């Protein structure tokens, strides 16, 4: 089977690692599988591990490369003359290059793009409907929402789609009740690239980052649905209580470096421009980190926290469970689904209530032996569900798409 993986959207974090690990697992699953991996130029920087997978031919999409000076001049001239084009250059390149020489085309981020017009079977993963909601700050334009309301129906009706949680399928039915064909649920495994972290590896990376203190970690970009403000308020409340003076809250993900160093306050973070010693700050934003670094940071955390108010799944918690690190996460339906799917254990809190978050964090850290046991139980449960099972389920969908083309 020859598969075209098309990773054309500039994404990071869990989405990039999801696509990488699924690709790698499919290659390992069957000898006859070959993959051409079409990728956005920026995504390849985030998952360079792709280049070392045998039988995977990595092809950078030319339409995602930075424009040269001539290209910039043409764009400015078109703008000056009022010339508009409705052709999406990336989709145009996909339609020209991903077609009859493949058995099936797979789009790992189908939930945020228009559906290409191809002559071969198409499979797409619909991760969530984040663009459909407003969380206090506009992330997606009204035009994009209007466009995706049309495209998402095309994806579901015109091919084979997959979701990573039943909650997302239920939401699809709520948002698009007249669709005849809804996605198949395939739960994914932890998106951890370095599943084993050595003590030497940890020591070197933590030393480079000057981390020699106990910390709670939240890996998440600075989009409003990640709910950072309530976490900051909760951490402020926690630090007022005896015994938690030395704890730090580490932030990773896109734009988290905006809070380079800071002190948690009830209504936000006081930014600290000059740091002379560790006691000068209690929150630190590390920005987007490489796969190796984020795996080390999660593996060495006292606790991983995720206060998100909207997600499809909790990939940070899944990564933590891979290492046996305990978690405290939002009490929302997709996060609770992890309990049903694998039997993992976590502490849950009301993400809109900073006091409840602080109380749960305090309880976790005060009874840390029991909290560690939850992490260890979750690690053992996650080991029973690996990427081999995920790849097997996806391969069934690919074969079904080919048979029914």
DSSP state, 188? P
Instruction: Specify whether the CB–CB gap between 327 and 346 falls below 8 A.
Output: yes
Q: Is the pLDDT at 224 greater than 80, yes or no? A: yes
- Give the pLDDT mean for 234-243: 97
Q: What is the pLDDT confidence band of residue 74, given thresholds at 50, 70 and 90?
A: very low
Query: What CATH architecture applies to the domain 2-189+387-403?
Result: 3-Layer(aba) Sandwich (3.40)
Q: What is the pLDDT of residue 67?
A: 59
Write the pLDDT tens digit of every residue in 246-256: 999 999 998 99
**Across residues 310-316, what is the average pLDDT?**
95
User: Which H or E run contains 18?
Assistant: helix 13-29
Q: How far is CA 48 from CA 31, 53, 181, 291, in A?
A: 23, 10, 36, 10
**Mean pLDDT across 126-139:** 94
Percentage of the residues of the chain whose pLDDT score is greater than 70: 95
352: which 2 tokens? 């809109």
Instruction: Confirm if 54 and 34 have CB atoms less than 8 A apart.
Output: no
Check whether 72 has a pLDDT greater than 80. Answer: no
Q: What is the pLDDT of residue 87?
A: 63
Q: What is the DSSP letter of 302?
A: S
Cα 194 to chain centroid distance, Å, stands at: 16
Average pLDDT value over all residues in the chain: 92
DSSP letters spanning 100-134: TT-SEEEETTGGGSPPP--SS-EEEE----GGG--
State residue 88's pLDDT score. Answer: 86
**Which CATH superfamily is 199-383 part of?**
Glycogen Phosphorylase B; (3.40.50.2000)
* pLDDT at res. 10: 86
Tens of pLDDT along 339-376?
A: 999 999 999 999 999 999 999 999 999 999 999 999 99
Q: What residues have CB less than 8 Å from 155, skipping those under 6 apart?
A: 110, 111, 115, 124, 126, 161
- Locate the domains of the chain by residue range: 2-189+387-403, 199-383
Give the pairing of strands 261-265 and 248-252: unpaired
The per-residue pLDDT for 367 is 97
Comparing C-alpha atoms, which of 267, 286, 318, 167 is closest to residue 221?
Answer: 286
3-state DSSP assignment of residue 177: coil
Q: Please state whether beta strands 56-60 and 34-39 pair in parallel, antiparallel, or not at all (unpaired).
A: parallel
Phi, psi of 105 (to 5 degrees): -115, 135
User: Rg for the chain (alpha carbons), in Å?
Assistant: 22
Ranges 12-16, 23-27, 280-284, 296-300: which has the least confidence: 12-16
Average pLDDT over residues 204-208: 97
**Which one-letter DSSP state was computed for residue 137?**
S
Phi, psi of 310 (to 5 degrees): -150, 125
**Residue 78: what pLDDT?**
41
Half-sphere exposure of 372 (CA within 13 A, CB side): 8
**Higher-confidence position of 153 and 84:** 153
263 bridge partner residues: 270
pLDDT given at position 75: 41
- Residue by residue, DSSP assigns 212-238 as -S-EEEEE--S-GGG-HHHHHHHHHHH
CB 51 within 8 A of CB 24: no
CB 396 within 8 Å of CB 339:
no
d(CA 74, CA 89): 14
Q: pLDDT exceeding 90 applies to what percent of the chain? A: 86
List all residues 6 or more positions away from 192 whose beta carbon is below 8 Å from its beta carbon: 17, 295, 319, 322, 323
pLDDT of residue 68: 57
Q: Which DSSP category does 51 fall into?
A: G
pLDDT, tens only, 15-70: 888 999 999 999 999 999 999 999 999 999 888 999 999 899 999 999 999 855 54
The neighbouring-strand residues paired with 320 are none
- Whole-angstrom CA distances from 34 to 4, 29, 212, 385 are 9, 11, 45, 24
Q: How far apart are CA 148 and CA 115, in angstroms?
A: 10
């Amino acid at each position: 089977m020859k598969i075209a993986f098309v990773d054309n959207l500039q994404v990071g974090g869990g989405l990039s690692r999801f696509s990488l690990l699924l690709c790698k697992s499919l290659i390992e699953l069957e000898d006859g599988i070959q993959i051409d991996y079409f990728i956005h130029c920026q995504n390849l920087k985030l998952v360079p591990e792709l280049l070392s997978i045998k039988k995977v031919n990595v092809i950078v999409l030319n339409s995602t490369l930075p424009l040269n000076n001539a290209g910039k001049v043409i764009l400015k001239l078109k703008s000056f003359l009022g010339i508009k084009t409705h052709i999406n250059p990336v989709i145009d390149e996909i339609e020209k290059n991903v077609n009859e020489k493949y058995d099936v085309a797979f789009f790992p981020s189908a939930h945020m793009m228009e559906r290409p017009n191809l002559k071969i079977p198409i499979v797409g993963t619909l991760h969530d409907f984040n663009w459909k909601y407003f969380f206090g700050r506009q992330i997606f334009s009204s035009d994009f929402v209007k466009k995706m309301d049309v495209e998402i129906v095309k994806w579901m009706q015109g091919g084979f789609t997959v979701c990573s949680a039943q909650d997302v399928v239920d939401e699809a039915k709520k948002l698009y009740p007249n669709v005849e064909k809804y996605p198949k649920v395939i739960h994914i495994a932890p998106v951890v690239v370095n599943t084993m972290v050595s003590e030497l590896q940890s020591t070197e990376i933590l030393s480079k980052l000057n981390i020699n203190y106990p910390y709670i970690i939240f890996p998440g970009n600075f989009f409003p649905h990640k709910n950072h403000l309530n976490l900051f308020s909760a951490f402020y409340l926690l630090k007022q209580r005896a015994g938690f003076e030395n704890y730090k809250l580490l932030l990773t993900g896109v734009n988290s470096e905006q809070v380079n160093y800071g002190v948690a306050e009830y209504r936000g973070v006081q930014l600290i421009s000059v740091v002379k010693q560790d006691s000068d700050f209690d929150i630190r934003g590390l920005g987007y980190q490489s796969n190796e670094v984020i795996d080390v940071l999660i593996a060495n955390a006292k606790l991983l926290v995720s206060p998100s108010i909207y997600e499809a799944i909790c990939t940070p918690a899944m990564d933590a469970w891979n290492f046996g690190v305990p978690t405290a996460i939002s009490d929302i339906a997709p996060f609770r689904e992890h309990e049903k799917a694998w039997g993992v254990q976590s502490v849950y809190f009301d993400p809109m209530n900073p006091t409840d978050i602080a109380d749960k964090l305090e309880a976790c850290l005060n009874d840390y032996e029991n909290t560690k046991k939850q992490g260890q139980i979750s690690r053992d449960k996650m080991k029973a569900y690996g990427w081999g099972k995920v790849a097997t389920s996806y391969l069934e969908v690919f074969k079904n798409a080919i048979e029914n083309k």
